[in-house]
Amino acid sequence: MNHGEWMVVVIVGMVLAARIYRDKCGLGGSRMNRRDRFDTPRQRFADTQADDAENQRLREEVRALKDRIAVLERIATDSSTHLDREIEALRDRPSSPERL
């Protein structure tokens, strides 16, 4: 290989290394990411709606778990006689379908 061919190999190697570095570090510049290139706006909107529904479901689940923790904390810190009454009241309470 002569000097000119080596320079071509070095330049191609530098371009490839820079491209790999840019892709690994997320330095894509003004190019769209892979999701934006392949999804239509309608698909992105549907994904957003699904995410919103999932977020709402998770918020409700967290709220229910916080309520259960509050009841358990109250039971754990009350006196034993009051604890017996509280346990019986919880047993008598109808179970909700959302309980885990």
Secondary structure of 12-73 as H, E, C letters: HHHHHHHHHHHHHHCCCCCCCCHHHHHCCHHHHHHHHHHHHHHHHHHHHHHHHHHHHHHHHH
- Count CA atoms within 13 Å of residue 9 on its CB side: 6
Query: What pLDDT sits at residue 37?
Result: 54
Total length of the chain: 100
pLDDT digits (tens, 9 = 90+) for 52-92: 888 999 999 999 999 999 988 887 776 666 777 878 888 88
pTM of the model: 0.38
Query: What pLDDT sits at residue 39?
Result: 59
Query: What pLDDT sits at residue 40?
Result: 63
Report the pLDDT averaged over residues 34-42.
57
Query: What pLDDT sits at residue 14?
Result: 92
- Residue 12, CA distances (Å) to 3, 16, 19, 31 in order: 15, 6, 11, 21
